[in-house]
Chain A
Amino acid sequence: MSCESVRECLQENLEGTRHPLELAARLPDWAQRHLEGCPACREASWQLVSLECSLRRLNEMSPMPVDLTAGVMAALQRPEPVVAASRERFWMRAAAVLLVSLCLYASTYVSFPPLQAGWQLVSGWSLPRLELPGLSESLALVGAAVCLVGAAALNWRWSGAH
Chain B
Amino acid sequence: MTDLVIVGNGIAGVTVARHVRKRSNRHITIISAETDHHFSRTALMYIFMGHMAYQNTKPYEDHFWKKNRIDLVRGYVTHLDTTAKILTLANGDKIPYGQLVLATGSKSNKFGWPGQDLPGVQGLYSYQDVELLEKNARGASRAVIVGGGLIGIELAEMLLSRQIAVTFLVREKTYWSNILPEEDSRLVSRHILEHGVDLRLSSELSEILAGPTGRVRAVRTASGEEIPCQIVGLTPGVHPNIDLAKAGGVPTGRGILVNDYLETQIPDVFSCGDCAEIEVPGDARNRVEQLWYTGRMQGYALAKTLCGDRTAYQRGIWFNSAKFMDIEYQTYGFVANKPRSGEEHFYWEHPGGKIAARLVFDQADRAVTGMNFFGMRMKHPVCEGWIKGRRPVESVLSDLNAANFDPEFFRSYQRDIIAAFNQQYQASVPEPKRRFLQRFFA
Q: Do A and B come from one complex?
A: no
List residues of chain A with CB under 8 Å of any chain B CB. none
List residues of chain B with CB under 8 Å of any chain A CB. none
